[in-house]
Amino acid sequence: MYKISLITGDGIGPELSESAESVLNTIHDKYDLKFEIIKLLAGDSALKKTGAALPMNTIDTIKKSDACLKAPVGESAADVIVVLRRMLDLYANVRPAKSYPHMPALRDDIDMVIVRENTEDLYTGKEFTVGNAAVALRIITEYASKRIAKYAFESAKQRNSKKKVTCVHKSNVMRITDGLFAKACTEVSKSYPDILFEQMYVDACAMNLIRQPEQFDVIVTTNLFGDILSDESSQVVGGLGMAPAANIGDNFALFEPVHGAAFDIAGKNIANPSSFLLSIKMMLDWLGVKHSDTKCFEVGQKLETTIFDLVKTGVKTKDIGGDKNTTDFTHEIIKNL
């Protein structure tokens, strides 16, 4: 039995968590893949109730679980996900961007993944003032750069795709920090002669994600650039509603939708749960690798196929122009599972 910690989040988070829990319970019952789901508080609701956005009880329970699912949280997001990434050394932020039917993607043949370094860069929060100037320290290390590059190349090996890694940076301007990152990726590429390796400046990459998104396979980049480009790639395939994400370390992983808490539609039962459900698919794949559990892979593929086939028939939630509410959409997923 897998012990799954579930952060129920803020805004539409509790509604998406109900959808995720229903799907996990269906998998538990129909596929003999057992889960124990432990609901946890974190984010704005936790801050209001306990005085901490990330209570110690939540941290302790996450550490004792096999994996974590996190619904979106509100304004305190940086005090939750950024802290957990660094605390648990979840160094790889993995964000697929894939065309799904009846979604406003630029093309129907987009299938890429952005592998973003998750522990350093400007996101370390090392900022201070000097007189009337504000200063931020950008930290890029050889160790973290090579580690994320290796993860990207291993991902490209496993994908049934173009077998290509694109290293994205801005070393023509940030010659030392991005120069180190580019050099580290180049050195790692030498151990993967069967994987095509290319480099691209981040501004050119942002343009080509619009101009030729079908040309990308695996993009590896630094923390800030990865954060921006992954949102852009999500929009290229139709929006954040179909965008899952994983935060992966050597010993633990956390899975979440890319989108935020969407307070404007919270409580209306109209939010698309697909990104959170696709995050479950990523979790199953990770558990399958970690525990050599082929059933996890099989059920994860079944879940993704079910979502793909459902949206192919034109079934969508009201927030993206359909006529289904969150509960009805989830029931359709469960019925087809």
Predicted confidence (pLDDT) per residue in 162-197, tens digit: 999 999 999 999 999 999 999 999 999 999 999 999
Q: Please indicate, yes or no, if residue 47 is contained in any of the structural domains.
A: yes
Angle between helices 13-30 and 294-312 (to 10 degrees): 120
Residue 231 bears catalytic tag: yes
Residue 123 bears catalytic tag: yes
When the pLDDT of each residue in the chain is averaged and rounded to a whole number, the result is 95
Residue 170 bears catalytic tag: yes
Mean pLDDT of 111-115: 97
d(CA 232, CA 83): 24
Residues 290 and 189 grouped into a single domain? no
- Selecting among 89, 111, 231, 328, the annotated active-site residue is 231
Residues 260 and 320 grouped into a single domain? yes
Whether 140 contacts 181, CB under 8 Å:
yes
Q: Choose the most confident range, by mean pLDDT, from 101-105, 297-301, 314-318.
A: 297-301
User: Which tens digit of pLDDT belongs to each residue from 238-255?
Assistant: 888 889 999 999 999 999
Residues 319 and 201 grouped into a single domain? no
Whether 153 contacts 192, CB under 8 Å:
yes
Among 48, 45, 42, 137, CA closest to 84: 42
Domain range holding 328?
1-90+243-337
- Selecting among 70, 150, 170, 281, the annotated active-site residue is 170
- Selecting among 203, 250, 309, 323, the annotated active-site residue is 203
- Over 90: is that where the pLDDT of 156 sits? yes
Parallel, antiparallel, or unpaired: how do β-strands 2-7 and 67-70 relate?
Answer: parallel
Q: What pLDDT sits at residue 7?
A: 98
Instruction: Say what percent of the chain tops pLDDT 90.
Output: 91
Residues 258 and 188 grouped into a single domain? no
Sole residue written with tokens 């590429």:
189
Number of domains in the chain: 2
- Selecting among 227, 281, 285, 319, the annotated active-site residue is 227
Whether 74 contacts 259, CB under 8 Å:
no
- CATH number of the structural domain spanning residue 178: 3.40.718.10
What pLDDT band is residue 14 in, cutting at 50, 70 and 90?
very high
Q: Please indicate, yes or no, if residue 252 is contained in any of the structural domains.
A: yes
pTM, two decimal places: 0.94
- Selecting among 2, 100, 123, 151, the annotated active-site residue is 123
Angle between helices 326-336 and 294-312 (to 10 degrees): 120
